[in-house]
Structure 1
Amino acid sequence: MARYRPILTVVRAIFLGVARSELPGVLELLTHAVEAVGGAERAGQVEMADAVGRAIRTGEHLAVQAGTGTGKSLAYLVPAIRHAVEKEATVVVSTATIALQRQLVDRDLPRLAKALKKVLGREPTFAILKGRRNYLCLHRLDTGAPDEPDDQALFDPFAVSRLGKDVKRLFEWSSDTETGDRDELVPGVADQAWRQVSVTAKECLGAARCPIGTDCFAEKARAEAGRADIVVTNHALLAIDALQGYQVLPEHDVVIIDEAHELVDRVTSVATGELTASMVSVAVRRCGKLIDADIADRLMESSDAMALILDDLPSGRFDTLPKPLAGVLAGVRDAAHACITAMGPDRKEEVEDATARKLARTLLDEIHDNAMRMLEAFDPDQAHQRDVVWMTADTFSANPRPPSLKVAPLAVAGLLREKVFGLNTTILTSATLTLGGNFDTLARQWGLPAKQLKVVKAEGAATDKEAPSDLESIKWTGIDVGSPFDHKRNGILYMAKHLPAPGRDGLQKSTLDEIAELVDAAGGRTLGLFSSMRAAKQAAEELRDRIKYPILCQGEDSTSLLVQKFAEDARTCLFGTLSLWQGVDVPGPSLQLVLVDRIPFPRPDDPVSSARQRAVEARGGNGFLTVAATHAALLLAQGTGRLHRSISDRGVVAVLDSRIATARYGGFLRASLPPLWPTTDPQVVRDALRRLDAAAPA
């Protein structure tokens, strides 16, 4: 059937009244779209749309840095829709955040579909697709979840009552929802409650065997996605599609990765495995009557031994595998394998028995594979080590957790090169992709070769794809289409060169004095981005007695409500940490000063980044610049981007870490930021803030 698809495509297009050759070009469609939504043509948007269209035609991958205000969503959606309609194909758009997914599905795509309906001959279709765990499982709801109390219940006497209330809400909601999508449940419920009514892809019986498979919310979402021109998903599902041995996303030949600066971290997160003593004991309970008791007892004994050993081990990264832990992991691996063997292959049986077998087998596979992976992670040659193993334990905090072993990949470049770039034409875009002034750093992390192609401006023929070749290597282009914002005219980068380098004992008095003077000069209007919650709270508590403007601090209410209050009152300040570096969009006079307390290097005890840094050094590279400085540059660029959210925004980004001006790596960090006008003079900055405050509307 596949070989007849091109013929059917032409016939279908002619039947619709628009032959493939008659479809307008990308730039003509962009003009239609911009006029329909009441926008204005932007040079960067035009350049980006042209480049995306060319990449789709040639099959050569593309990385596009598009600054805030470019209108990049429209710039990649228009050529994507044209390709989908022309080829009767599906294009996958992957994002990192729920906010952007909702913007695409609720605003951008509906408006664009209506705008292009007439010129394309039909209205383009779109759908959103998430992992199976995000949808209500009607079979789980009907049969009930296995009796597996969360570890949290051991510490929190109120956890069970909260769980019961949440599950009751979910039962009531199941009668009203049409999609079963967790994100449509407002207010939401805790993860523990959601796990009672959902299953992972590995736990699912499959639509053919499930007695409620015809009404399955996840299957309906997949079916809708398979019929759509554009499918919006997230980086996690994209990673699952690449990692698993079965297809998750619909057939597609083009994938567009927005917020591509987050791709490596999201893929790493999906590829991270976990192993706890309670996971092993839960697997024993799931086995139940499926295997002989003496075989299950071996697994239970390994769980008990694991709990004892982990209690005696310190938290943190393992440079070598402790002998007692190696023995326990080998015992867990072998006992899990024995259970899997005893359980045997899937068989024809009652649905209830099939469900129990699937749940048990899924967890046993995970336990066995993670134990094996941890045992194999310790290569004597650090340059060839593939994974990092560490332990976390937190039994004394407000939300205590027992010890947990984790394993994560040191790099995901090979996976992305083989399973993403090797299979699809890929467009990566974000406002922050060039670090130190070029794409090389992120290209290495993605698995793209260091050498990129030159940009060819001509639009080209209907298809410019080269014939396949055994000698073919990955080809890609990187372009920066700039931003419509005049950063040098409208923004100042203040580097507090006179301040001492940050210490480990919280914010110094001189730094707090500097913050107070800057906030006072700005008349409030300040977003404080801190490297830790401890520093944000210290600044908020100490400055509330020193300045007359209200200070909100992350953690005092939901982040969305705090941002809303901050935006509504121009005199208010908002202090916080990581999520504010990337998640705040407040145009106008409410935000005219962005404070950064220190360069956001990863914590020295962060197991993944420290192991990656060590691996780079083992291969003769500069681990600090490759890992730590890259992490800091990305976050700094994202944080700096909070200042300019509209073309009329003006203000100051103040970095209170003198190392950005004095350290050798400072030039790399500065080259990764928007081109703000730089200064180290505090008086110049305070005077500028006072002028902006005086000119702002009352």
Structure 2
Amino acid sequence: MLDLPYPALHASHGGVWIAHEGEVRAVGRGEAIRIAADTPTLLLNAPLVGQRLGHPELSGLDLLELFAFLRPARFMVPTPKGLARAAGIEPPASDADVAPFLRDAAEALLASIDGDWPEREGAWHAAQSLFRLRWPWAPVVGQRLDKPERAERWLFSRLPEWSEQPPRSAPRTVTLNDDAVADRLARLTGTGAERRQGQRDYAAAAARAFAPREMRDSPNLVLAEAGTGIGKTLGYLAPASLWAKEADGAVWVSTFTKALQRQLANEGERLFADPEERKRRIVTRKGRENYLCLLNLEDALQGGFAGRAAVLAQLVARWAAYSADGDMIGGDLPGWLPVLFRRNGSTALTDRRGECIYAGCPHYRKCFIERAARASVDADLVIANHALVMVNAARGRETAARPTRYVFDEGHHLFDAADAMFSAALTGQEAIELRRWITGPESGSRGRRRGLAARLSDVASYDSEGGEAIAAAVIAAQALPTDGWLQRLNEGQPFGPVESLLAAVRGLTYARAENAAEAGYGLETELAEPDGTLVEAAGPAGAALEAMVRPMVTLGRRLEAVLAEAPDWMDGAARARIEGAIASLGWRTETVGAWLSLIARIGGPADPQFVDWLAVDRVEGREYDIGLHRHWLDPSKPFAETVLKQAHGALITSATLRAGGDWELAEARSGATHLMRPAGRFEAVSPFDYANQAQVLIVTDVKRGDLPALANAYARLIVAANGGTLGLFTAIRRLRAVHARIADRLAREGLPLMAQHVDPIDTGTLVDIFRDDPRASLIGTDALRDGVDVPGESLRLVVMEGVPWPKPTVLHAARRLAGGGSAHDDRIVRARLAQAFGRLIRRADDRGTFVLLSSAMPSRLLSAFPAGTPVARVTLDEAVARVRLSLATGLRHDAPATDHEDADPGIR
């Protein structure tokens, strides 16, 4: 048995239990906190237990940390059930059984140390480091872990090196045969699979995007709306993989959500059964900020981190040695691991600041980012995301390997992704980040942060001009905000021209914002008719930025000259380093150029292509950023210019591509209207029998703004469905209020409730937990409306708190005016409703109910739901009865239609 003389503690919304010396007893929160404070305690997910006890700093021997040490890069749902599955033991039957179960689980995990488990390599070395850091598990693990007879191949010696490859030839010009596409689709779906004509037609339409291009800047663009259940993933992978094979080129498949990226990676088994071949042929790419930076990790391991952050660094090092790709965000690093440390240090382990020194890094040959970039050059399929595709097209270093064929899945998100990518923001946070990028560490700061001089002084000093440019940029950057800038602005004592500009922005925003008294919300106002204070502050701020950007441009040109002149010392690694520095300088220079355009707008004429405004960002009454913002009125225009026009062919597809509207809307939001060649159109209606598989209930007697009534409605509906509910909110404040009112009530019914923005668990892990427990429910905001794929019993009810109208921002008002007024709002709402409803029915055997808690739902928006779906306006009592009946019978509309006076004729 386990030789730990410590109690085990479990807390849920249903109660608190302690297991110790063979006894299990329920205790109060106060006693549990006292025991945990006085004695090392076995826990599962300490932050979550601490939150439920009202003691967020609770700590102990967390079994999740032990699992991360013993089985790095392995998936586990961080619940008692998931832990039991991972440890190979029986799960607890009830909440009261969890505390003694934790002791059994700890024993099962520690027992694996006595054997030769797959991740043993490096464990002894890490355990010694963790012992010095006083990790609670270190003494227990150290007692069982023998010193290896030979030296361990630890992280940096274990990781493989990538090697340089010759440039890939341009893809051959080929035309796909319709029969060959159909044969490839049949092979992917498997012998004996049901032949779906809609999927075959979809694959044939998608193949048109791979035809040879006929005109420059005019790709073969296909817009394809395929309802849920068509099988569009295999539908486009068939022609994409066939073209990649015949043309010897790479197809980039771009998604919006990480969930779809994982799904695509799993579908790769159908294309290439052999794991090694699949690894070569299918590569997942993400932005640099997603990957572990080995140089940052080395710094953390050598004393750059302290306390709990240092423990996290050791566990991340264990993971990195076994990771498939080094992806810390959505890869094989458990999403719950950084949260256990309250994300203390995890963001510093990635390259979020653009400070990479490329070939100047001692780990360059083992870099996860560089490995993925090189692997993608020779791949057949590159699985990426919309943001990375746009970044690479706009300012990527890989111009020689630029894709010619794209598939944009979740294409309804392209407009929003382009909106974020091509926007500009001169804010305090952005400015202070640029200052740090140029100057390096401020006095007294810790960490590996390097400024321009530390990164480039050796290569830039090829002549005096480069060194002088760096010095000039560093001096000019002193005009940017520094630490404490927000406090100085609040005290009316800004330092420097840019802080003075931000102070003027703050003053004018508060003067004009309509909801300034509401401390929980951010404030914004149009950049129009600026006052004298803002106009006066604009000139010095613009001059300061110009003084900074000029030496940056000079430095970039100097580095380009170094490349052109190719001195004797320049080998391939040095060239890569300089090319990376040029790209990074170009990005920052473009950023400052956009800021200068924003400043020029103050007191100057408006540009009809852009929407400009001032904002003070606040959360729970606390200001955290201030600045000027600029977005394209139509961001699909720069997307078309930088991405589509450079491609030979592209497929843009989604289940809700038209957002409940027409094809003109899809073309406008995808960038097709900015191309000379018209886009092809294809539509495939979902094969699901929505008339018998689903129902939509619009509840008419829950008054808007009545939080007790809203919470009561959620609780009653979740109980009626016996869990399995996804609740969607349009405001975090209401979500938290409802959760606080119903979590304990549901726990007494044996129905766990998890909440985004409440539980200290990342969103991906929340969905994993929800998927794993048919009696669990999950509530959240927009992030759960898309990309949540939970087929089967775990999701049988979707509840929305109200009609998801767009937030009335300055940007929305401008686009509303340009997009037809209320019709623009209706299109947005239809799209959101369609996306939310789409979470419900994912397979042919799914059954479910969609409930909207709003009597103000206009009938004109009902076209958001699939044709044939029964829709009824009902009271809450009747909605609860129908949900309960549907669970019992599997039918969706056996109950009599309501006679409520607000019911819409013909939709009951």
Q: TM-score, normalised by structure 1?
A: 0.78
State the one-letter code of the partner of 1:299: A
Where 2:252 maps in the other structure, the secondary structure is strand
TM superposition shift of 1:170 = 4.8
In structure 1, the partner of 2:197 is 43
Q: How big is each residue's C-alpha offset from its partner over 1:60-115, in whole Å with a ceiling of 9 and x where there is no partner?
A: 3212222222211110001111111122222111111222112212x201222349
Where 2:833 maps in the other structure, the secondary structure is helix
On the 8 A contact 2:720/2:880 being kept in 1, the answer is: yes
In structure 2, the partner of 1:417 is 640
Where 2:612 maps in the other structure, the secondary structure is strand
The CA distance in 1 between the partners of 2:283 and 2:583, in whole Å, is 30
The CA distance in 1 between the partners of 2:235 and 2:255, in whole Å, is 15
Where 2:857 maps in the other structure, the secondary structure is helix
State the one-letter code of the partner of 1:255: Y
Matches within 5 A, 1:193-342: 193=345, 196-199=348-351, 203-205=355-357, 207=359, 213-244=364-395, 246-247=397-398, 250-275=401-426, 276=428, 277-282=431-436, 283-285=438-440, 286=451, 290-291=467-468, 296-303=474-481, 304-305=495-496, 306-311=498-503, 313=506, 314=509, 315-320=523-528, 322-340=534-552
Is it true that 1:479 corresponds to 2:672 in the alignment?
no
TM superposition shift of 1:258 = 0.7
Q: 401, 404, 407: which is aligned to 2:624? A: 401
On the 8 A contact 1:62/1:476 being kept in 2, the answer is: yes
Q: How big is each residue's C-alpha offset from its partner over 1:318-338, in whole Å with a ceiling of 9 and x where there is no partner?
A: 423532552353133123135
Moved more, 365-374 or 355-364: 355-364
Q: 739, 764, 770: which is aligned to 1:540? A: 739
Q: How big is each residue's C-alpha offset from its partner over 1:376-405, in whole Å with a ceiling of 9 and x where there is no partner?
A: 45696667142434434448779x735455
In structure 2, the partner of 1:104 is 264
Which of the two has higher C-alpha Rg?
A: 2
In structure 2, the partner of 1:553 is 755
On the 8 A contact 1:329/1:371 being kept in 2, the answer is: no
Q: How big is each residue's C-alpha offset from its partner over 1:623-661, in whole Å with a ceiling of 9 and x where there is no partner?
A: 4432x4333222211111122122122232111222323
CA RMSD for the aligned pairs?
A: 4.3
The CA distance in 1 between the partners of 2:614 and 2:297, in whole Å, is 36
Unpaired segments of 5 or more residues in structure 2? Answer: 1-165, 214-219, 441-450, 458-466, 482-494, 510-522, 892-908
Aligned length: 631
Is it true that 1:63 corresponds to 2:198 in the alignment?
no
Change (3 A) 1:77 1:140: same
In structure 2, the partner of 1:181 is 327
On the 8 A contact 2:726/2:798 being kept in 1, the answer is: yes
On the 8 A contact 1:521/1:690 being kept in 2, the answer is: yes
Is it true that 1:135 corresponds to 2:329 in the alignment?
no
State the one-letter code of the partner of 1:553: A
Q: How big is each residue's C-alpha offset from its partner over 1:579-606, in whole Å with a ceiling of 9 and x where there is no partner?
A: 222243333344332111112223224x
In structure 1, the partner of 2:654 is 430
Where 1:267 maps in the other structure, the secondary structure is helix
TM superposition shift of 1:128 = 1.7
The CA distance in 1 between the partners of 2:238 and 2:621, in whole Å, is 49
Q: How big is each residue's C-alpha offset from its partner over 1:35-66, in whole Å with a ceiling of 9 and x where there is no partner?
A: 25x64222321121121123423653212222
Where 1:680 maps in the other structure, the secondary structure is strand
The CA distance in 2 between the partners of 1:402 and 1:4, in whole Å, is 47
The CA distance in 1 between the partners of 2:643 and 2:582, in whole Å, is 29
The CA distance in 2 between the partners of 1:568 and 1:200, in whole Å, is 33
State the one-letter code of the partner of 1:415: P
The CA distance in 1 between the partners of 2:473 and 2:843, in whole Å, is 65
On the 8 A contact 1:377/1:386 being kept in 2, the answer is: no
In structure 2, the partner of 1:464 is none
On the 8 A contact 1:563/1:584 being kept in 2, the answer is: yes
The CA distance in 2 between the partners of 1:650 and 1:161, in whole Å, is 49
State the one-letter code of the partner of 2:870: W
Higher relative contact order (CA 8 A, sep 6+): 1
TM superposition shift of 1:415 = 1.7
On the 8 A contact 1:392/1:403 being kept in 2, the answer is: yes
Moved more, 294-303 or 324-333: 294-303
TM superposition shift of 1:219 = 2.8
In structure 2, the partner of 1:457 is none
In structure 2, the partner of 1:611 is 811
The CA distance in 2 between the partners of 1:111 and 1:687, in whole Å, is 44
State the one-letter code of the partner of 1:644: I
TM superposition shift of 1:259 = 1.0
Q: How big is each residue's C-alpha offset from its partner over 1:142-168, in whole Å with a ceiling of 9 and x where there is no partner?
A: 7899x9x9xxxxxxxxx9745544445
TM superposition shift of 1:265 = 1.5
Q: 667, 672, 677: which is aligned to 2:864? A: 672
Is it true that 1:93 corresponds to 2:290 in the alignment?
no
Q: 572, 577, 598: which is aligned to 2:781? A: 577
On the 8 A contact 2:376/2:382 being kept in 1, the answer is: yes
In structure 1, the partner of 2:91 is none
The CA distance in 2 between the partners of 1:494 and 1:161, in whole Å, is 52
In structure 1, the partner of 2:853 is 656
The CA distance in 2 between the partners of 1:165 and 1:373, in whole Å, is 45
On the 8 A contact 2:405/2:650 being kept in 1, the answer is: yes
In structure 1, the partner of 2:835 is 638
In structure 2, the partner of 1:695 is 889
On the 8 A contact 1:387/1:408 being kept in 2, the answer is: yes
Change (3 A) 1:447 1:523: same
The CA distance in 2 between the partners of 1:215 and 1:566, in whole Å, is 37
Change (3 A) 1:35 1:673: same
In structure 2, the partner of 1:13 is none
The CA distance in 2 between the partners of 1:122 and 1:564, in whole Å, is 25
Moved more, 52-61 or 210-219: 210-219
Q: 569, 576, 598: which is aligned to 2:802? A: 598
State the one-letter code of the partner of 1:96: F
Where 1:269 maps in the other structure, the secondary structure is helix
On the 8 A contact 1:125/1:229 being kept in 2, the answer is: yes
TM superposition shift of 1:561 = 4.6
The CA distance in 2 between the partners of 1:541 and 1:5, in whole Å, is 58
On the 8 A contact 1:302/1:335 being kept in 2, the answer is: no
Change (3 A) 1:129 1:395: closer
State the one-letter code of the partner of 2:181: V
